[in-house]
A and B are shown apart, each in its own frame.
Chain A
Amino acid sequence: QSALTQPRSVSGSPGQSVTISCTGTSSDVGGYNFVSWSQQHPGKAPKVMIYDVSKRPSGVPDRFSGSKSGNTASLTISGLQAEDEADYYCSSYAGSYTWVFGGGTKLTVL
Chain B
Amino acid sequence: QVHLVESGGGVVQPGRSLRLSCAASGFSFSSDSMHWVRQAPGLGLEWVAFISHDGNNKYHADSVKGRFTISRDNSKNTLSLQMDSLRPEDTAVYYCVKDRGGSWTFDFWGQGTLVTVSS
Q: Is the CB of A36 within 8 A of B106?
A: yes
- Tell me how many residue pairs across A and B have CB atoms closer than 8 Å: 67
Assembled-state Cα–Cα distance A3/B45 (Å): 9
- A34 to chain B minimum Cβ distance, whole angstroms, is 4
Contact-residue size bin, chain B (C-beta under 8 Å from the other chain): 20 to 34
Stretch among B12-20, B24-32, B56-64, B76-84 lining the A interface: B56-64
Near B by CB (< 8 A), chain A positions 41-84 give 44-48, 51-52, 57
Interface residue from B47, B59, B106 paired with A100 (Cβ < 8 Å): B47
Chain A CB within 8 A of B68 CB:
no
A interface residue numbers (CB < 8 A to B): 1, 3, 32, 34-36, 38, 44-48, 51-52, 57, 89, 91, 93, 96-104
B interface residue numbers (CB < 8 A to A): 35, 37, 44-47, 50, 57, 59, 61-62, 95, 100, 103-112
